[in-house]
Amino acid sequence: MIPAMRPVIVAGNWKMHTTPAEAGELAATIARRTNEPDVVRVLCPPFVSLAAVRDALEAEPGAGAVAVGAQNVHHETTGPYTGEVSAHMLQGLASWVIVGHSERRRDAGETDELISRKVQRALDTGLRVILCVGEQLEDREAGHAADLVRTQVRGSLDGVDVAAIAPLLTIAYEPVWAIGTGRHAQGSDAAAMAAVIRATLGGLGFDDRGEEIPVLYGGSVSSSNIGDFMDEPSIDGALVGGASLKPDEMAGIVARAGLTARARAQR
């Protein structure tokens, strides 16, 4: 059974794309093309484009339901950290933040311990967190995928106040082996890992609230494959990468997510 409070979410991670001018125009276009009130929509541009996206959405009629998210946050509130951005600096610019993305784990060497500190900083300022977890190809081929994801969930939420984070937490399952590699995950793969994630949350003290945490799929999502994942009752939307830069793709993804949201509401 799907808890009534679990929303359907489509978040677009623009990564290192768009200038502020390009980002504002793209955000307004996507907002117009994805007018699905039953789907929570989040756009995550680069830091330099946060204000432009916020302003563009505020100026676009009916776009107020589209939220702005940051792609990362620092684990300290302030300090001598050149080039970094704290959670407090995001106030007024973003209401969501992506934490622990696979590219940050890979390229910046982010550990679960560091990610847990970032989650806490986001929580301190009321940001909604999209926590990313997922295995590499070698983990899956060795049969360690579930163990790896359990470890990431536990480590990334270590010491975090469960009661405080539960209403603000979304988890994105990213099978790293299916991102830009030509290999494809199936809806059943994502559903199996969603079960692992929610069981792990239960063991961390979330108890029944673990079933209320949205789990997204994030692995080369497109308008042509989103249906396979939205057909799974345990999957509540998508964290979209490259396709989120294409209004036609986002329109198709959000439209399909809207069908699922309305079907669930009628149950």
Query: Which residues is 132 bridged to in the sheet?
Result: 172
Phi, psi at residue 19, to the nearest 5°?
Answer: -80, 165
| 127-to-42, 88, 124, 183, 253 alpha-carbon distances in Å | 13, 10, 8, 33, 25
Structure tokens at 227: 């249906």
| Positions marked catalytic | 101, 174
Q: What span, in angstroms and rounded, lies between the C-alpha atoms of 135 and 80?
A: 33
DSSP 71-136: S---SSSSSS-TT---TGGGTTT-SEEEES-HHHHHHS---HHHHHHHHHHHHHTT-EEEEEE---
Q: What span, in angstroms and rounded, lies between the C-alpha atoms of 7 and 213?
A: 9
C-beta separation of 70 from 95 below 8 A:
no
Q: Which residue bears the tokens 């010491």?
A: 159
